[in-house]
Amino acid sequence: MLKGSFELIGDKSISHRAIMFSSISKGHNKISNFLMGQDCLSTISCFRKMGVDIEINGADVFVKGNGLYGLKPPLDILDVGNSGTTIRLISGILAGNKFEATLIGDESIGKRPMKRVTDPLRLMGCKIEGKEDANFTPIKIYGGNLNAIDYKMTVASAQVKSALILASLYADGKSIIHEKVRSRNHTEIMLKSFGADITVEDLAININPVQELFSQNIYVPGDISSAAFIIVGALITKGSEVIIKNVGLNETRTGILDVVKNMNGNIEILNQRLVGGELVGDLLVKYSPDLNATTIDKAIIPRLIDEIPVIAVLATQAEGTTIIKDAKELKVKESNRIKAVVDNLKLMGADVEELEDGMVIKGKVSLKGANIKTFKDHRIAMAFSIADLGCDGDVILDNKSCIDISFPGYFKLLKDLSI
């Protein structure tokens, strides 16, 4: 069982944005509770290569911003490692800067589609070269002289939206980005605090270019996507009771809380407060023996996209048929997360069927130990470490180190909470 309370590590999405926006602001920035995960360290490394002075001190990061037009041409290739957020968002910034830069990443990044970003950036007048018509790395961006855009997005993606908002800061007039479905809005919230001229009307984001962004002190709230593993662990293991402190509760990220409530999970939000424009609170989660199945589809999907692997584990412990659909995007994450979850759950004895855009899971079943293929995907590794908690036998992960991408210290925390 899991017992105790702990402070949650910083949010990955917000940590990336804090480094990027600080780097293109004017003045000294302090970022507290920064996530020292490998993905966020890749973002730091890319901006250092463009002449930004970034110092790490414990969980704080100090960034001396170069100003909106002050980045230097990188002397070296920019390597984003495993980070989709870095490559998508940085492309928007590079498109606005008058120099050439080449982006590469690891094997998984090499398979993740970039046309969703490079196509609209080309429409803004940016010259971009890359494998398969700039769909895959290496991608070379020749930035500068962007025209404004009025663009209807074709995928529900915060990364595409953010890249286009960032490019719009450098455009020659007002841009409008129309979202298909509302996705996480940390870029809009944080850029406004840096002085960007951004207004949001329903699904339309209006951006007027500005001369400069101004430095900030940023506190990064805890990552609800990381909390998700502990939430599910506590819900499914007998006798558990955990308090997770300092969880980011931005409404565009809290789909998992709605799902847990629909499934009759015992979860309570305590001590809600607003920190730097983001809602934060503590979560009290207790073992829930009477979980029921649910359907997860449509507009909630972007609000819990990264939590689906562990929600699937939860569904195996719920009575009835859980349906997850409209989640095709899972196929182009760090791994094909639909296949990875379905195949591994089958190995553990779950009743699960793969769909083109999701999966169907019938519960409740007793899971058994298995050798799990993580595909070096941090969310798959953590989801199946949670499946291990209630199962008969042992789960053996073929790779554990990938967890450092988003949750350094994960196994120590799990051990500290386990009694």
Amino acid at the residue 21? F
**Residue 145: how many other CB atoms lie within 10 Å:** 15
Stretch 31-70: interaction string toward ligand SPQ, x if CB under 6 A: --------x-------------------------------
Instruction: Pick one of 25, 43, 85, 97: the residue that binds ligand SPQ (CB under 6 A).
Output: 85
For ligand SPQ, the closer CB: 292 or 336 = 336
> SS3 helix, strand, coil % of the chain, rounded to 5?
35, 30, 35
Q: Does 406 bind ligand SPQ (CB under 6 A)?
A: yes
Instruction: Pick one of 179, 306, 307, 388: the residue that binds ligand SPQ (CB under 6 A).
Output: 306
Can you tell me the distance from the alpha carbon of 166 to that of 205, in angstroms, rounded to the nearest whole number?
A: 12
Q: Does 218 bind ligand SPQ (CB under 6 A)?
A: no
Q: Does 209 bind ligand SPQ (CB under 6 A)?
A: no
- DSSP three-state, residue 204: strand
Stretch 175-194: interaction string toward ligand SPQ, x if CB under 6 A: --------xx----------
- DSSP three-state, residue 154: coil
Can you tell me the distance from the alpha carbon of 94 to that of 243, in angstroms, rounded to the nearest whole number?
A: 41
Q: State the chain's maximal CA–CA distance in angstroms.
A: 61
Find all residues with CB under 8 Å of 174, minimum gap 6, and list them.
Answer: 148, 206, 207, 208
Q: What are phi and psi of 256, to 5 degrees?
A: -60, -35
Residue 306 falls in the annotated catalytic set? yes
Q: Does 159 bind ligand SPQ (CB under 6 A)?
A: yes
For ligand SPQ, the closer CB: 309 or 363 = 309
246-274 exposure pattern, b = at least 16 Cβ within 10 A, e = fewer:
bbbbbebbbbbbebbeebbbbbeeeeeee
Q: How far is the CB of 108 from ligand SPQ (least distance, A)?
A: 8
Positions in 316-355 near ligand SPQ (CB under 6 A): 329, 333-334
For ligand SPQ, the closer CB: 43 or 288 = 43
Find all residues with CB under 8 Å of 409, minimum gap 6, and list them.
Answer: 9
Q: Does 232 bind ligand SPQ (CB under 6 A)?
A: no
Q: How far is the CB of 85 from ligand SPQ (least distance, A)?
A: 3
Q: How far is the CB of 269 from ligand SPQ (least distance, A)?
A: 22
For ligand SPQ, the closer CB: 105 or 130 = 105
Tokens 């939206």 appear where?
Answer: 161
Q: Does 373 bind ligand SPQ (CB under 6 A)?
A: no
Which structure tokens are listed for 326? 């409209």
Q: Is 251 left (phi over 0), alpha (psi -120 to 50) or beta?
A: alpha
Can you tell me the distance from the alpha carbon of 349 to that of 60, in angstroms, rounded to the nearest whole number?
A: 44
Question: Per CB under 6 A, which region of 59-67, 121-129, 157-165, 316-324 contacts ligand SPQ?
Answer: 157-165
Determine which one of 79, 306, 377, 388 is catalytic. 306
Q: Does 83 bind ligand SPQ (CB under 6 A)?
A: yes
For ligand SPQ, the closer CB: 278 or 306 = 306
Q: Give me the active site residues, please.
A: 306
| Residues at the site binding ligand SPQ, with contacts judged by CB under 6 A | 12-13, 39, 83-85, 157-159, 162, 183-184, 305-306, 329, 333-334, 379, 406
